[in-house]
């Protein structure tokens, strides 16, 4: 079975950009960097010359952006392979949070240790969801699947509400060291979350590029019929992919527990940001999700600078709308 | 002298590849023009440029003394130049009557009028017994006629037919060819792209042959079928069998 | 659009012989005595059915018949709610006028975001995401706009008597039911008339096959925008009715995601792209909340652990949607309609 040569430049979902695309990509990255620099300068001016506020925004934005990247990675993987928009991704993050809560508060584990449980748990859950529910509607119109995952998200969220109640819970990993990065404040838990998320994202990326399973997943993403013809069990890949996507969400949930309050609706904000990341990076583009997460994290913080009286999300939505209109295929899509 | 339809130096380039290269021809009102050519000759491109689906790179299309170059298919349809699709595109969940009714409503705001026209067209086309059947459920041959019926409900001056016989087995073709003859007899100008030579020869007043995006020949069916260049282009296959 | 749409049916020519209109009239006549027969708590459920029904009917126009999946229908609901509240609270203007203004503004909003979306060629899921984003942005903006009472929202000033002009009656008054019946009837009539009209037929054709419709000379953008504006206007009606009944509105209630989801649920359960689907759906969904609330207050023996908890109603909604989509994609009414028309 030879799947290593699977790619078709138009449907090149996970593969690294080819040489001809590289030039285009560089140009686009340059534009994005240029806009970012412009935004930073404007923010500097807006805050009355406070380099500190701007640096803080950059640091906080990047740190939380790493987590957004991981969640979005799962989402974009699911879209790239199954062509489903998983509206339950945020709820799966919440599930990860509660899993950590249960184990930490009952067994006294350090929350980061619970990754060992939350990742497999979400893997299995994701797989089951695919087998039992989503599998039946594969191939149907996207709107059907949108509603299905939406309903799933609601189901998870409200089951958590029913079981745990609506009161915010918390788990802390001990006294927080605060670090100083170029004058900005960064708590240890956020740094660990960033590092953890980045590590998992990189591991996932390597898995996709270098392992047999990863190649099979990319094959199905590029061409399901072709993949089937070379002997790949496409149904199995669907299950594995959804499982991995869910696990990304669950892991992210665990990672953020030390600095968020755990509530059934806690994942909703991650849902929104994950979507923006995915559209920004390009539906199905893994690399795009990784960078998109950082950009959205920054957008959130800078939104707070430009619109101090509004919710941070306004900046995120502004970016979302802009991208939807100016470049809906995302920043990392192939030249069209 | 200006003709009813004038195509002047129509060209279409796709990134350096000339799919159409300076094609010119004219069509008089009430004429039937068959457009043929080997695969890749540019027939579909020519069709799409004329039908408003694709913008031409250069050249001019004049219809009834009006420059319609670059018009969208919607604008053309309202002006009297209507196209059909090769792959049938019925409004699936609507019945056959409703499908044609929708078309009739474009030019006739009054529901009663539109319905009368729709029913009339369905009779002409021979689909009236299918009136209340959901169009999604129709067999291919009937769907082809539905395409035609919808176009006819717009009372077109010119009909552009895109391989209207594709997908039909020989026994299904004859009724459609007869229908086209009827439409021609009613005075509609027809331009049709077709591979089925028999139909082209039977129906056309003139035949336009394309090859490599250029006009190879234009003449009556018998002129064209005895043109040595045309025969060579086709490798002697279809024309001698027609 | 393949949340499967059953056959369209426009055969009867004259409006008074249209079987949907006849059914509507009979339905209204039959339901008029309802509040005199049933008590206040049943009336509350009935009002919920009507509010969700109107919202669902509005969603159905652009998303069911028009095939343009709206994920942010709360925007129209909220615009209606806020228009009438602001005008009433700040300027003493009757909610009926407020409703007309709200309908106009909602339609305008719809046209703007529709135009922007289609100009930039957003379709399907991207379009749905855009509608969601726009609704959320509205919520966020209203939430921080002091001129619109920010997060506090509006309390409708209480009056002691019944007033049709001010659209307010004492709590539990049968007038609310009749008001709702009127508004629901009007919404249904609008949807019936729309589907039968030339515009409606074009909109359905565009949904079925946009290219084919365009090639027949139908100006696609224009009619898509018409569908959206009618849809938005009806959505505003639901918002006004809600506010005048519950006497309170805030950004979350008006523009929140739950409202947008509610708008989608009822038609999906009842039958997308059918006249009666949304109301059938809302008749199933609305009582569900009350039943589950009652269940959670006094759970029977083995379910005792449920007491005092919340979330069960939405869990059931969610399970219902999943079941519907997997096994009954045409919805309850839609499936029945299909079976009947196959005879």
One digit per residue, the tens of pLDDT, for chain A of length 336 reads 333 333 333 334 455 556 666 777 777 778 777 887 888 788 777 777 777 888 888 888 899 999 999 999 999 999 888 888 898 999 999 999 999 999 998 988 888 888 999 999 999 999 999 998 888 887 776 777 888 898 899 999 999 998 998 889 988 877 788 888 777 888 888 999 999 999 999 999 999 989 999 999 999 988 888 988 998 899 999 999 999 999 999 999 999 999 899 999 888 888 888 888 887 777 777 888 888 888 889 888 888 888 777 777 888 888 887 777 777 666 666 543
In whole angstroms, give the CA distance from residue A95 to residue A265. Answer: 10
At A59, list the tokens: 């640091």
Helix axes A268-281, A313-326, angle to 10 degrees: 30
Are the Cβ atoms of C140 and A137 closer than 8 angstroms? Answer: no
What are chain C's partners, defined as 3 or more CB pairs within 8 angstroms? A, B
3-state secondary structure at position A187: strand
Residue C269's pLDDT is what? 86
Cβ atoms of B191 and B35 within 8 Å: the answer is yes
Instruction: Kindly report the length of chain C.
Output: 343
Is residue A333 in a domain?
no
At A7, list the tokens: 């790619």
Query: Partners of B95 in the beta sheet?
Result: B134
Do chains B and A have 3 or more beta-carbon pairs under 8 angstroms? Answer: no
Helix axes A268-281, A89-107, angle to 10 degrees: 130
Helices (H), C69-219: 74-91, 95-119, 124-144, 174-196, 198-208, 210-215
User: Alpha carbon of A301 to those of A242, A270, A305, A310, B234: distances in Å?
Assistant: 31, 15, 7, 12, 67
For chain C, the straight-line distance linking the first and the last C-alpha, in angstroms and rounded, comes to: 25
Cβ atoms of B124 and B155 within 8 Å: the answer is no
Is residue A172 in a domain?
yes
- SS3 helix, strand, coil % of chain C, rounded to 5? 75, 0, 25
The domain C15-270 having CATH identifier 3.20.20: the answer here is no
Q: Does residue B23 carry a pLDDT above 60?
A: yes
In whole angstroms, give the CA distance from residue B187 to residue B168. Answer: 26
b/e per residue C200-210 (b: at least 16 CB within 10 A)? bbbbbbbbbbb
Average pLDDT over residues B38-51: 87
Q: How far is C196 from chain B (nearest CA, A)?
A: 10
In whole angstroms, give the CA distance from residue C254 to residue C236. Answer: 10
Kind and range of the H or E element at B124? helix B111-125
Q: How far is C141 from chain A (nearest CA, A)?
A: 7
Q: How far is C107 from chain B (nearest CA, A)?
A: 24
Chain B residues whose CB is inside 8 A of the C12 CB are: none
Chain C residues whose CB is inside 8 A of the A309 CB are: 144
Beta-carbon contacts of A128 under 8 Å, excluding residues fewer than 6 positions away, are none
Is residue A334 in a domain?
no
Cβ atoms of C73 and C296 within 8 Å: the answer is no
Q: Does residue C340 carry a pLDDT above 80?
A: no
In whole angstroms, give the CA distance from residue A53 to residue A309. Answer: 16
In whole angstroms, give the CA distance from residue B147 to residue B153. Answer: 10
pLDDT digits 0-9 by tens, C280-293: 999 988 888 777 77
DSSP state of C60: I
Interface residue B156 vs chain C (CB under 8 A) = no
Q: How many CB pairs under 8 A join A and C?
A: 120
Residue extents of the structural domains in chain B = 5-80+156-241, 89-154
In whole angstroms, give the CA distance from residue A20 to residue C266. Answer: 50
Q: Kindly identify which residue of chain C lies nearest to residue B150, measuring between CA atoms.
A: C216
The CATH number, out of the four listed (3.40.50.300, 1.10.10.10, 3.40.50.10800, 3.40.190.290), of the domain defined by the range B5-80+156-241? 3.40.50.300
Cβ atoms of C42 and C33 within 8 Å: the answer is no
Any idea what the CATH number is for the domain that residue A66 is in? 1.10.3470
Q: How many CB pairs under 8 A join B and C?
A: 82
Cβ atoms of C264 and C59 within 8 Å: the answer is yes
At C199, list the tokens: 């515009």
User: Alpha carbon of A119 to those of A55, A160, A249, A269, B173: distances in Å?
Assistant: 33, 18, 9, 21, 62
Are the Cβ atoms of C6 and B93 closer than 8 angstroms? Answer: yes
Are the Cβ atoms of C216 and B90 closer than 8 angstroms? Answer: no
Residue A331's pLDDT is what? 67
Residue A4: count of CB within 10 angstroms of its CB:
10
In whole angstroms, give the CA distance from residue B211 to residue B215. Answer: 6
Cβ atoms of C4 and C334 within 8 Å: the answer is yes
At A302, list the tokens: 């800078």
Average pLDDT over residues C286-309: 76
Q: Kindly identify which residue of chain B lies nearest to residue C7, measuring between CA atoms.
A: B93
Q: Residue C228 CA to chain centroid, in angstroms?
A: 13
In whole angstroms, give the CA distance from residue B94 to residue B105. Answer: 15
By the 10 Å C-beta count (0-12 exposed, 13-18 middle, 19+ buried), C113 is classed as buried
At C19, list the tokens: 């079987």
Q: What is the dihedral of CA B108, B109, B113, B114, to 10 degrees?
A: 70
Residue B181: count of CB within 10 angstroms of its CB:
14
Domain count, chain A: 1
Are the Cβ atoms of C310 and A162 closer than 8 angstroms? Answer: yes
Helix axes C95-119, C124-144, angle to 10 degrees: 130
Q: How far is C139 from chain A (nearest CA, A)?
A: 10
Higher pLDDT, A199 or C317: A199
Q: Does residue C1 carry a pLDDT above 60?
A: no
3-state secondary structure at position B214: strand
At A194, list the tokens: 């960033």
φ, ψ for residue A314, nearest 5 deg: -60, -45
φ, ψ for residue C153, nearest 5 deg: 85, -170
φ, ψ for residue B133, nearest 5 deg: -85, 145
Beta-carbon contacts of A116 under 8 Å, excluding residues fewer than 6 positions away, are none
Interface residue C328 vs chain B (CB under 8 A) = no
Kind and range of the H or E element at C266? helix C257-270
Q: Using alpha carbons, select from A332, A223, A220, A228 the residue that is nearest to residue A285.
A: A332
Site from B47, B90, B98, B99 to mutate, C interface, most C CB atoms within 10 angstroms? B98
Cβ atoms of C217 and B78 within 8 Å: the answer is yes
In whole angstroms, give the CA distance from residue A13 to residue A15. Answer: 6
Residue C261's pLDDT is what? 87
Interface residue B88 vs chain C (CB under 8 A) = no
φ, ψ for residue A180, nearest 5 deg: -110, 115
CA C83, C88, C89, C90 torsion-angle sign:
positive
Beta-carbon contacts of C286 under 8 Å, excluding residues fewer than 6 positions away, are C45, C48, C49, C52
Q: How far is B1 from chain C (nearest CA, A)?
A: 30
φ, ψ for residue B10, nearest 5 deg: -75, 125
The strands making up B17-27's β-sheet, listed across from edge to edge, are: B17-27, B5-14, B58-63, B66-67
Q: Using alpha carbons, select from A325, A147, A83, A153 the residue that is nearest to residue C64.
A: A147
b/e per residue A283-320 (b: at least 16 CB within 10 A)? bbbbbbbbbbbbbbbbbbbbbbbebeebbbbbbbbbbb
Q: Kindly identify which residue of chain A lies nearest to residue C265, measuring between CA atoms.
A: A147
- Domain encompassing residue A93: 2-326
Is residue A321 in a domain?
yes
- Of the candidates C1, C257, C309, the beta carbon closest to that of A165 is on C309
Average pLDDT over residues C62-82: 94
In whole angstroms, give the CA distance from residue A103 to residue C280. Answer: 44
Average pLDDT over residues C263-278: 90
Percent with pLDDT over 90 in chain C: 46
Average pLDDT over residues C50-54: 96
Cβ atoms of A103 and A109 within 8 Å: the answer is yes
Instruction: State how beta strands B81-83 and B158-162 pair.
Output: parallel
In whole angstroms, give the CA distance from residue A81 to residue C127. Answer: 21
Q: Using alpha carbons, select from A73, B85, B19 the residue that is nearest to residue C214.
A: B85
Average pLDDT, chain C: 87
Higher pLDDT, A125 or C20: A125
For chain B, the straight-line distance linking the first and the last C-alpha, in angstroms and rounded, comes to: 34
Interface residue B116 vs chain C (CB under 8 A) = no
Helices (H), chain A: 19-46, 51-82, 89-107, 115-132, 142-164, 188-210, 212-222, 224-229, 234-256, 268-281, 286-306, 313-326
Residue B227's pLDDT is what? 85
Chain C residues whose CB is inside 8 A of the B102 CB are: 201-202, 204-205, 213, 216, 218
Query: Which of A 147-176 lie inside 8 A of C, CB atoms?
Result: 147-148, 150-152, 154-155, 157-162, 165-166
- Of the candidates B93, B112, B115, the beta carbon closest to that of C7 is on B93
By the 10 Å C-beta count (0-12 exposed, 13-18 middle, 19+ buried), A187 is classed as middle
Residue C96's pLDDT is what? 94
The pLDDT-based confidence of C331 (bands split at 50, 70, 90) is confident
In whole angstroms, give the CA distance from residue C83 to residue A179. Answer: 49
Q: Does residue B92 carry a pLDDT above 50?
A: yes
Interface residue A85 vs chain C (CB under 8 A) = yes
Is 0.80 surpassed by the pTM of this model? yes
pLDDT digits 0-9 by tens, B158-197: 999 988 888 888 888 888 888 899 999 988 999 999 888 8
In whole angstroms, give the CA distance from residue A95 to residue A246. Answer: 10
Q: Kindly identify which residue of chain C lies nearest to residue B99, measuring between CA atoms.
A: C205
- DSSP letters, A5-47, are T---GGG--SSPPPHHHHHHHHHHHHHHHHHHHHHHHHHHHHT
The pLDDT-based confidence of C50 (bands split at 50, 70, 90) is very high
Average pLDDT over residues C142-156: 85
Site from C10, C216, C271 to mutate, B interface, most B CB atoms within 10 angstroms? C216
Interface residue B94 vs chain C (CB under 8 A) = yes
* Helices and strands (DSSP H and E) totals, chain B: 10, 10
- Tokens 């009028």 locate to B113
Q: Kindly identify which residue of chain C lies nearest to residue B111, measuring between CA atoms.
A: C198
């Amino acid at each position: 079975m030879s799947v290593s040569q699977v790619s078709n430049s138009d449907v090149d979902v996970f593969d690294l950009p080819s040489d001809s695309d590289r030039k285009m990509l560089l140009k686009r990255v340059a534009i994005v960097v240029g806009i970012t620099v412009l935004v930073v300068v404007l923010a500097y001016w807006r805050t009355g010359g406070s380099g500190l506020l701007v640096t803080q925004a950059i640091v906080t934005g990047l740190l939380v952006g790493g987590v957004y990247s991981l969640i979005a990675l799962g989402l974009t993987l699911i879209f790239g392979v199954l062509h489903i928009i998983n509206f339950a991704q945020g709820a799966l993050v919440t599930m990860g949070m509660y899993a950590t809560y249960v184990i930490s508060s009952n067994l006294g584990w350090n929350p980061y240790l619970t990754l060992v449980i939350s990742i497999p748990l979400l893997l299995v859950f994701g797989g089951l969801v695919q087998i039992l529910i989503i599998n039946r509607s594969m191939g149907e119109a996207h709107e059907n699947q949108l509603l299905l995952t939406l309903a799933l998200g609601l189901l998870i969220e409200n089951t958590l509400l029913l079981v745990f109640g609506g009161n915010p819970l918390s788990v802390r990993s001990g006294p927080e060291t605060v670090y100083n990065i170029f004058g900005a404040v960064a708590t240890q838990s956020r740094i660990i979350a960033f590092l953890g998320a980045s590590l998992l994202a990189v591991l996932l990326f390597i898995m996709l590029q270098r392992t047999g399973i990863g190649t099979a997943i990319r094959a199905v993403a590029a061409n399901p019929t072709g993949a089937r013809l070379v002997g790949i069990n496409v149904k199995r890949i669907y299950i594995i992919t959804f499982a991995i996507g869910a696990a990304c969400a669950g892991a992210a949930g665990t990672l953020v527990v030390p600095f968020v309050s755990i509530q059934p609706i806690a994942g909703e904000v991650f849902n929104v940001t994950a979507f923006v990341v995915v559209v920004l990076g390009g539906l199905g583009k893994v690399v795009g999700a990784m960078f998109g997460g950082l950009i959205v994290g920054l957008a959130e913080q800078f939104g707070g600078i430009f619109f101090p009286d509004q919710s941070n999300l306004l900046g995120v939505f502004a970016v979302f709308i802009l991208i939807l209109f100016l470049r809906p295929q995302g920043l990392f899509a192939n030249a069209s | 002298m200006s003709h009813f339809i004038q195509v002047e130096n129509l060209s279409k380039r796709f990134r350096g590849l000339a799919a159409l290269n300076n094609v010119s021809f004219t069509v008089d009102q009430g004429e039937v023009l068959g457009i043929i050519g080997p695969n890749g000759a540019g027939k579909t491109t020519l069709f799409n440029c004329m039908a408003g689906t694709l913008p031409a790179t250069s050249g001019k299309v004049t219809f009834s003394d009006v420059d319609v170059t670059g018009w969208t298919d919607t604008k053309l349809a309202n002006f009297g130049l209507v196209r059909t699709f090769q792959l049938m595109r019925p409004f699936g969940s609507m019945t056959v009557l409703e499908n044609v009714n929708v078309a009739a409503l474009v030019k006739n705001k009054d529901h009663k009028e539109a319905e009368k026209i729709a029913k009339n067209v369905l009779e002409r086309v021979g689909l009236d017994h299918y009136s209340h059947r959901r169009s999604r459920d129709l067999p291919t041959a009937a769907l082809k006629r539905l395409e035609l019926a919808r176009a006819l409900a717009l009372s077109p001056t010119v009909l552009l037919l895109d391989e209207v016989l594709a997908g039909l087995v020989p026994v299904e073709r004859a009724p459609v060819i007869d229908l086209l003859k009827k439409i021609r007899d009613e005075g509609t100008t027809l331009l049709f792209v077709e591979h089925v030579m028999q139909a082209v020869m039977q129906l056309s007043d003139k035949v336009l042959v394309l090859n490599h995006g250029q006009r190879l020949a234009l003449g009556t069916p018998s002129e064209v079928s005895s043109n040595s260049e045309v025969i060579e282009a086709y490798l002697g296959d279809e024309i001698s069998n027609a | 659009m393949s949340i499967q749409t059953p056959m369209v049916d426009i055969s009867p020519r004259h409006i008074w012989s249209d079987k949907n209109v006849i059914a509507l009239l009979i339905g209204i006549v039959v339901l008029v005595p309802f509040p005199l027969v049933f008590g206040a708590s049943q009336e509350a459920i009935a009002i919920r059915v009507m509010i969700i029904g109107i919202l669902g009917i509005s969603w159905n126009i652009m998303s069911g018949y028009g095939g343009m999946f709206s994920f942010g229908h709360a925007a129209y609901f909220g615009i209606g709610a806020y228009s009438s509240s602001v005008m009433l609270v700040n300027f003493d203007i009757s909610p009926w006028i407020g409703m007309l203004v709200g309908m106009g503004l909602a339609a305008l909003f719809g046209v703007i975001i529709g135009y922007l979306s289609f100009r930039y060629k957003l379709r399907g899921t991207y379009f749905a995401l855009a509608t969601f984003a726009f609704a959320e942005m509205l919520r966020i903006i209203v939430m921080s706009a002091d001129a619109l009472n920010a997060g506090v929202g509006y309390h409708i000033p209480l009056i002691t008597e019944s007033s049709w002009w001010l659209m307010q009656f004492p709590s539990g008054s049968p007038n609310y039911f009749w008001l709702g019946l009127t508004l629901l009837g009007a919404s249904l009539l609008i949807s019936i008339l729309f589907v039968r009209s030339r515009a409606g037929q074009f909109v359905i054709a565009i949904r079925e096959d946009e290219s084919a419709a365009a090639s027949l000379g139908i100006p696609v953008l224009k009619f898509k925008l018409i569908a959206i504006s009618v849809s938005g206007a009806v959505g505003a009606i639901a918002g006004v009715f809600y506010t005048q009944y519950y006497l309170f509105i805030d950004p979350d209630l008006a523009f929140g995601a739950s409202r947008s989801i509610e708008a989608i649920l009822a038609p999906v359960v009842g039958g997308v792209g059918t006249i009666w689907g949304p109301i059938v759906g809302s008749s199933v969904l609305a009582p569900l909340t009350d039943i589950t609330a009652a269940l959670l207050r006094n759970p029977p023996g083995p379910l005792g652990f449920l007491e005092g908890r919340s979330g069960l109603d939405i869990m059931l909604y969610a399970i219902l949607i999943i079941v519907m989509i997997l096994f009954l994609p045409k919805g309850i009414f839609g499936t029945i309609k299909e079976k009947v028309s196959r005879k």
